[in-house]
Chains A and B, each alone.
Chain A
């Protein structure tokens, strides 16, 4: 999968570019609720893809990824509500800062595009831009020699060590990079949700990221993006039909684990 991506980057880049362009073009015509769900999906896509750097590419299953996400969320929450910081600085600080606090509420949306069609739409485009930026950076990392080294480490740490690579340094940097991106997603989440609390950091939330990565297809970056959207949309769609949406979601997870081991992307590629 990752090999295929490496062999045909141009096709993949084209496909991704078209998708993003479609997401941008279609938004004004979609019902407001769909745009909101798409926004949430994009935020989680950034987070899930950041976890893929660790899980899929470096072979480090991290059950604590929500921590980095939450750091970004809390940092933004505190900075924006208590210090009236601008979006850019909050985003930057979220990437940089580490803080933990009790629940913070009432985080206002950033006002960036004055005179835009509606708050929902403007926010969506902001997130879309950040998402596109993150995606580009992810792919650059993954296709770089650094990314290839990570894959080597995942496949066999001892081999890489024997070959002279500094395995610890690589995994350490991978963790920091993944954490930074998760912080980005967390920061956006704080704006989106308007509320940050200890529930953002709990084990179930961390597991949700792992699920998105595995559902979509690990070690592909694109897979977790798909996984994030699938999980986010599934939650919303199924809850319309039944109160027992969690059961349905859980059943989907079980079925995926049993019959789609490489995730959705694995199924799609297998069908090709």
Chain B
């Protein structure tokens, strides 16, 4: 019994991370149809910047918000300066974002070196909530809480505001949206920034959770893609469901069948692709 509760909890907390990384990517994918290979780099840089800001200010929350905002700004800049030039051409986008990803990876290596770092959160992160004989680490609870809060905010934004309606319109049909007079280029930039924000946020939280080290960007990228594919491009709710499904599948898979741990993660994706290619909540 304890095994199942613990693994389920671990799965949900990992799902929080997956949602942050995948949610950002699904928005970018959904609105802009861009294969953003640099998304992992946003996550990585979020972690490193979070580290730097904690060292600078000593406050985890300031670092969390600050790093995420910085990454968001960087993402918007990237979209404005580079991505706009290769709009519409999948291959060029792939090449461009790959170049950016490699560049950022090496830059991080240059600045922070090759050693792995662990972000030191507030003191209560090391403690656990003790309920019914189980211990739930506060760090994981924070992850779940933060991701859930962000999801609620984003969902409210998407469903209940005009700007959110514009975003949904752009996901559905960008051309029509532009024809209706909505400033799609600005919308695109904003969405890219939002996606980057989420990834950076995930990076800071992830740095406290599992550390930050060179190569993490390309490690986390497939996970982000899986969340997007299983959940459906452009669907935030889909990303949440997919993240939970995958977080649980990954954790239980690793606990029960460690030899095929990667397989237990990607096999659901293969199933979804075979049976429902547009994803669980995607629009075809």
Contacts and interface: CB of A to CB of B under 8 A. Distances in A.
Interface of A: 55, 61, 202-204, 207, 210-211, 214-215, 218, 244, 246-247, 249-254, 256-258, 261
Interface in B55-102: 82, 85-86, 89-96, 98-102
Interface residues of B, number: 26
B82 A210 contact: no
Contact of A247 (B37, B82, B94, B106): B106
Nearest to B109: A246
Q: Give the residue among A202, A204, A246, A261 with the most B Cβ atoms within 10 A.
A: A204
A204 B218 contact: yes
Given A203-B221, A257-B86, A250 B91 contact: no
Contacts of A215: 95
Contacts of A253: 95-96, 98-99, 102
B107 interface: yes
B222 A203 contact: yes
B interface secondary structure, majority: helix
B86 A207 contact: no
Interface string B173-197: 0000000000000000000000000
Given A61-B90, A250-B106, A261-B89, A203 B99 contact: no
A55 B94 CA distance: 12
Given A202-B218, A203-B221, A207-B98, A261 B92 contact: yes
Interface of B: 37, 82, 85-86, 89-96, 98-103, 105-107, 109-110, 218, 221-222
Given A246-B102, A247-B110, A258-B86, 15 more contacts: A55-B91, A211-B98, A214-B91, A218-B91, A246-B109, A249-B102, A250-B106, A251-B99, A254-B82, A254-B96, A254-B99, A257-B86, A257-B92, A257-B96, A257-B99
Contact of A210 (B89, B94, B106): B94
Nearest to A251: B103
Nearest to A249: B102
Nearest to B221: A203
Given A215-B95, A246-B102, A203 B90 contact: no
Contacts of A211: 95, 98
A94 B38 CA distance: 33
A129 to B, nearest CB: 32
Contacts of A261: 86, 89, 92
Nearest to A198: B262
B140 to A, nearest CB: 27
Contacts of A202: 218
Contact of B106 (A203, A204, A246): A246
Given A246-B106, A247-B106, A256 B222 contact: no
Contacts of A210: 91, 94-95, 98
A250 B217 CA distance: 15
B109 to A, nearest CB: 8
Q: When A and B form their complex, which 9 residue pairs have the shortest distance between CB atoms, in order from nearest? A: A253-B99, A250-B103, A250-B102, A257-B96, A254-B99, A257-B95, A246-B106, A247-B106, A250-B99
Contacts of A252: 99
19 contacts: A202-B218, A203-B221, A203-B222, A207-B98, A214-B94, A214-B95, A246-B105, A246-B109, A247-B103, A252-B99, A253-B102, A254-B96, A254-B99, A254-B103, A256-B95, A256-B99, A257-B95, A258-B82, A258-B96
Contact of B218 (A55, A203, A218, A250): A203
Nearest to A261: B92
Contacts of B98: 207, 210-211, 250, 253
Contacts of A204: 218
A254 B92 contact: no
A67 to B, nearest CB: 12
Contacts of B109: 246
A247 B218 contact: no
B103 to A, nearest CB: 4
Contacts of B99: 250-254, 256-257
A211 B86 CA distance: 15
A255 B221 CA distance: 23
Contact of B37 (A55, A207, A258): A207
Nearest to A207: B98
A210 B96 CA distance: 12
Contact of B92 (A214, A244, A246): A214
A61 B82 CA distance: 21
A257 B96 CA distance: 5
Contacts of A254: 82, 95-96, 99-100, 103
Q: Looking at A202, A214, A246, A254, which has the most chain B CB atoms within 10 Å of its CB?
A: A254
Nearest to B81: A258
Contacts of B91: 55, 61, 210, 214, 218
A61 B90 CA distance: 9
Contacts of A244: 106, 110
A125 B71 CA distance: 50
Of the candidates A207, A211, A252, A261, the one having the most CB atoms from chain B within 10 angstroms of its own CB is: A207
